[in-house]
Amino acid sequence: MLDLNINDETAQLKAVVLGTAESCGPTPKPEEAYDPKSLEHILAGTYPKETDMIKEINAFAAVFQKYGIKVYRPSVIENCNQIFSRDIAFVVGDTFVHANILPDREKEFQAIGHVMEQIYPEKVIYPPEEVHVEGGDVMPWHDYIFVGTYTGDDYADYITARTNKAAVAFLKEHFPNKKVKSFELRKSNTNAKENALHLDCCFQPIGTDKAILHKNGFLVEEEYEWLVNYFGRENIFEITADEMYQMFSNVFSISPKVVVSEKSFTRLNNWLREKGFTVEEIPYAEIAKQEGLLRCSTLPLIRNNEPLLA
């Protein structure tokens, strides 16, 4: 059985579910798009090809193999996009939470049944129907759980509004030992540069005390400023609207010292190296066209505090 353990975003990774691009289906119709960036590429005829996405996700898998990490993959469902395993579930502490996702994506969760068989049933939570929550909006960070949300009265009008007010209350109830800190995100169904689909599209902690941040992803300036004060301005890599669009904040930490990043993120990757990180650069620009990147493709199960892998 798996002894789940996730208390932050960067401790040494031991086990993870990595999505798959196998049999991800034809290019969606415009009305089937889940987000404005996918829609943009569908309309432009530049939506990513399955063969390219398989190559990219295999490059990610190779990095995990290099660092000796146990990798689980979903069972392949024919003609189904299963790249973004972060959306379907998340772990806080030793508890596995089933995400209440867009209804037609529930079969993606069924495809990790072989992983679920290795998790103690009493450690699995299924939120009630009114709780809308996706893993991209939930970030355990030591004493905190950071949560991206949208609580406007027009919530139902946004397919990009994924985590609601009820989810914040649910997390507070189930994790009373954690401080649940929520952040209102900017949403747009039509403009990808004005849409923070999840919290990890405009913010992510890295290392032990640093963060990547994009101010305009937050609707409430005081909430953005809270993060600046928490991490310290000198520890923050502030990204532009275009860099948010390219998903600069959606890198993935294997340890406090090792970050997997897209190879074209030159400004970020140089900064990370200057700060002492090992940067594993891989191609991921095709998958990024679906408004998701490296963190979105992973569902971490176990991290621990053993000696760091350099």
pLDDT computed for residue 214 by the predictor:
95
Question: Which pLDDT tens digits describe the chain residue by residue (310 residues)?
Answer: 999 999 999 999 999 999 999 999 899 898 887 677 888 899 999 999 999 999 999 999 999 999 999 999 999 999 999 999 999 999 999 999 999 876 778 899 999 999 999 999 999 999 998 998 989 999 999 999 999 998 877 766 666 557 889 999 999 999 999 999 999 998 776 676 777 778 999 999 999 999 999 999 999 999 999 999 999 999 999 999 999 989 999 999 999 999 999 999 999 999 999 999 999 999 999 999 887 899 999 999 999 965 444 4
Token digits of residue 139: 């970030």
Q: Which two tokens stand for residue 87?
A: 């959306």
Residues present in the chain in total: 310
Pick the CATH number of 12-200+284-304 from 3.40.640.10, 3.30.1440.10, 3.75.10.10, 3.60.21.10: 3.75.10.10
In the chain, what are the domain boundaries? 12-200+284-304
Cα–Cα distances (Å) from 210 to 9, 163, 276, in that order, read 11, 25, 12
What is the predicted pLDDT for the residue at 310? 45
CB-based contact 260:294 (threshold 8 Å):
yes
pLDDT of residue 159: 60
Cα–Cα distance measured from residue 36 to residue 188, given in angstroms and rounded to the nearest whole number: 7
pTM: 0.93
- Alpha helices, H only, the chain: 36-44, 50-66, 106-110, 113-116, 165-174, 221-231, 241-245, 266-274
